[in-house]
Amino acid sequence: MEHQKVIQQICADLGNDPKRMMDILWTVQDRLGCIAPASMGLIADLTHTQRVVVEGVVSFYAFFHQEVQGQNVIYLCEDIIDQHAGFNALKETVESCLGIQPGQMTKDGLFSFYLAPSIGMCDQAPAALINQTPVTKLTPTLLKRIINNLRKGKPVAATIPKLGDGNNSHPLIQSMVQNNVRKQGEVLLSGHQNDEGLSKALSLSPAEVIDYVLKADLKGRGGAGYRSAEKWKIAADTPAKSRFLICNADEGEPGTFKDRLLLTERAHQLIEGMTIAAYAIEATQGILYLRAEYRYLQPYLESVLSERRQKALLGENISDTDFDFDIRIQLGAGAYICGEESALISSCEGKRGEPTTKPPFPAVYGYLGLPTIVNNVETFCNLPPILAKGSDWFRSIGTEKSKGTKLLSVCGDCDRPGIYELPMGIKLSEVLSSCGALNTEAVQVGGASGVLIGRSDFDRQLCFEDLPTAGAIMIFNSQRNILKIVNYFMHFFIEESCGYCTPCRVGNVFLKERLDKIMNGLGEPADLEYLRNLSATVRETSRCGLGHTSPNPILSSMENFPLVYAALLKEHPSGEQAGFNIQKALDESRIIAKRRSLIYDPDFSSGEGRGNQE
């Protein structure tokens, strides 16, 4: 009864609007500890939708829970970088301190324990989210202390050693996260522009702003590298009542954390950039889609928004013009696929984060059917400097086809992991030497969906024409097991596939199974052919970018580290499949039937020698 009132209130506060399902579910879970099956029917009634729709959303996102959670919730980051940095010891610590496995709650209801794929803290791994507070450079000792203090009712914030640098110690953030800025380039991280870019934009017509950015040749920083202003032009040229602007801050690619820095230290620049883009496409509303792992930044970001509203830099009549634009923050709930723009739009609409079929592209038919522009955090942050300093200045940095600088999230086996802002076209080897990477064996460029390259490719350039990346540079030294790295990425894709299309949902599982077989020493040369063929199928027939890129780690490691595979493969001339183990297949049956095999248990017959008696 009590719960019912709470839910009614929450839904009413959000206008009983099914489009705000994400916010409704977050608030219900915050208040009631979980989104119980009984709540779903009520939420469905109140928002005039069906229970199955609500359950569909709840079950889609990793951070939504149908079972009651403990008072304290621990998410341990299981990223490959964290695994190399001591994840196993932390997992054992939680398991021994609390006596629970991932996915379980302690009997006293004090703790729940989950694993998270990547929480954007790879530069300070191993990390965890404890009660939504990021805890980084975690050691078993610190973890034990946090758990003991939580038992005594002391919050995580009281136990963390010290606050991070810069805005991380802002009263509204109060986090131990370190920015780890190692190199400030000339576009994004050097000095504030104080809304110079926005004033410049407002002095131009929207079409002129588009031309300006077109001339600067800014390409999207989310990975695909589409020219931003061209996308805007499509939206601007689509006749519509209004248009919509979304900032993709769902930085889910394992090994990426550059948006975390921009959101922490360049929030004004980001919102300014969004405002400029909104002016260019004549959008009046926007969304900042913030990944749930960065929820600790939300109060601060809200304060930036309201500060800008007070200064008339956001809201109605921006800078005394007739341009209106406002932004709301939409919190995600833990789904990698929501980094894909159409999935992100689905999520903003309160639905499961499933990609849609394209065309129509979001620029023509996006959020609520409106022409919608989705750009990455870094792309928006580039706009104010471009407007303020001119497109020629921007074009002078970088290479022929890749202008400007790129924020790189460098992590893994190096002395100085962190953020590097470097001109486009920089050689990977230069990045490796500036971050102090020694004895590097392999580098995963572009996160899980990127490519794994070896020493002979370290002289390649990071830019759209050679090695494109959304920023993730994961470094692995010669101590690391290449196949284990690839296998983790496949595990990641299996977990994060939305399951809509078969090639991705099933294909990735089969790819990992075959890789497991090779890693278990049962591989045959024909397995490589199988991996290549299946990878091609997954790539060509999947519906969205996840499946188009998920075979990359396997394909690139097969190409760049052929000896790693070759060493594990051998022919089995008998014609039998090495992966099949008849003894294992019979174990359970022997127990249930309480007898042994007439064919395969040697004391009944000699080996497999029954054939002649048949």
Partner 1 sequence: MSKRKVRIATTSLAGCFGCHMSLLDIDERIVDLMAIAEFDRSPLNDKKTFTRRCDIGLVEGGCCNEDNVHVLKEFRKNCDVLVAVGQCAIMGGLPVMRNAIMHSEDPLRECLDEAYTTSKVLNPSKQIPNDPALPLILDKVYTCAQVVKIDYQIPGCPPSGDTLWAALTALIKNEEPTLDYALIKFD
**Which C-beta is closer to partner 1: that of 16 or that of 597?**
597
CB under 8 A: which stretch of 52-60, 190-198, 324-332, 595-603 binds partner 1?
Answer: 595-603
**C-alpha span between 491 and 497 (Å, rounded):** 10
Helix or strand run (H / E) with residue 411: strand 405-412
Q: How many residues bind partner 1 (CB under 8 A)?
A: 27
Residues in 557-576 that interact with partner 1 by CB under 8 A? 574-576
**C-alpha span between 390 and 605 (Å, rounded):** 85
Question: 347, 353 in Cβ contact below 8 A?
Answer: yes
Question: 444, 451 in Cβ contact below 8 A?
Answer: yes
Strands (DSSP E) contained in 458-506 are 461-462, 472-477
**Which C-beta is closer to partner 1: that of 284 or that of 597?**
597
**Which C-beta is closer to partner 1: that of 152 or that of 594?**
594
Nearest to 253 by CA among 558, 549, 560: 549
Report if residue 506 touches partner 1, rule: CB under 8 A: no
- Shortest gap between Cβ of 466 and partner 1 (angstroms)? 40
Report if residue 611 touches partner 1, rule: CB under 8 A: yes
CB under 8 A: which stretch of 179-187, 264-272, 504-512, 598-606 binds partner 1?
Answer: 598-606
Report if residue 593 touches partner 1, rule: CB under 8 A: yes
**Which C-beta is closer to partner 1: that of 2 or that of 576?**
576
Nearest to 208 by CA among 276, 151, 291: 276
Binding partner 1 (rule: CB under 8 A), the pick from 96, 148, 595, 602 is 595
Report if residue 598 touches partner 1, rule: CB under 8 A: yes
**Which C-beta is closer to partner 1: that of 171 or that of 575?**
575
Residues in 432-461 that interact with partner 1 by CB under 8 A? none
Give the DSSP letter of residue 62: T
Six token digits for residue 374: 């989705």
Binding partner 1 (rule: CB under 8 A), the pick from 592, 603, 606, 607 is 592
- Shortest gap between Cβ of 599 and partner 1 (angstroms)? 5
**Which pairs with CB-CB distance under 8 Å and at least 24 residues apart come from 33-38?**
33/68, 33/69, 34/65, 34/66, 34/67, 34/68, 34/69, 35/64, 35/65, 35/66, 36/3, 36/66, 36/68, 37/66, 38/3
Report if residue 603 touches partner 1, rule: CB under 8 A: no
Report if residue 520 touches partner 1, rule: CB under 8 A: no
Residues composing the chain: 614
**Which C-beta is closer to partner 1: that of 191 or that of 611?**
611
Burial class (CB in 10 A: 0-12, 13-18, 19+), 429: middle
Binding partner 1 (rule: CB under 8 A), the pick from 586, 602, 603, 607 is 586
- Shortest gap between Cβ of 578 and partner 1 (angstroms)? 10
**C-alpha span between 282 and 183 (Å, rounded):** 35
β-partners of residue 508 are: none
**Which C-beta is closer to partner 1: that of 465 or that of 587?**
587
Report if residue 479 touches partner 1, rule: CB under 8 A: no
- Shortest gap between Cβ of 595 and partner 1 (angstroms)? 6
CA distance to 219, 235, 245, 281, per residue, from 239 (Å): 24, 8, 15, 11
**C-alpha span between 156 and 136 (Å, rounded):** 12
Report if residue 614 touches partner 1, rule: CB under 8 A: yes
**Which C-beta is closer to partner 1: that of 103 or that of 562?**
103
Give the DSSP letter of residue 129: E
- Shortest gap between Cβ of 369 and partner 1 (angstroms)? 35
Binding partner 1 (rule: CB under 8 A), the pick from 205, 438, 582, 602 is 582
**Which C-beta is closer to partner 1: that of 51 or that of 590?**
590
CB under 8 A: which stretch of 123-131, 278-286, 415-423, 596-604 binds partner 1?
Answer: 596-604
Six token digits for residue 203: 């002095």
Report if residue 137 touches partner 1, rule: CB under 8 A: no
Binding partner 1 (rule: CB under 8 A), the pick from 171, 584, 603, 607 is 584
- Name every residue whose Cβ is closer than 8 Å to that of residue 576 and which is 6 or more positions away in sequence: none
Report if residue 589 touches partner 1, rule: CB under 8 A: yes
Report if residue 104 touches partner 1, rule: CB under 8 A: no
Dmax over CA atoms of the chain, in Å, equals 97
Question: 440, 420 in Cβ contact below 8 A?
Answer: no
| Chain contacts with partner 1 (rule: CB under 8 A) | 574-577, 579-580, 582, 584-590, 592-595, 597-600, 608, 610-612, 614
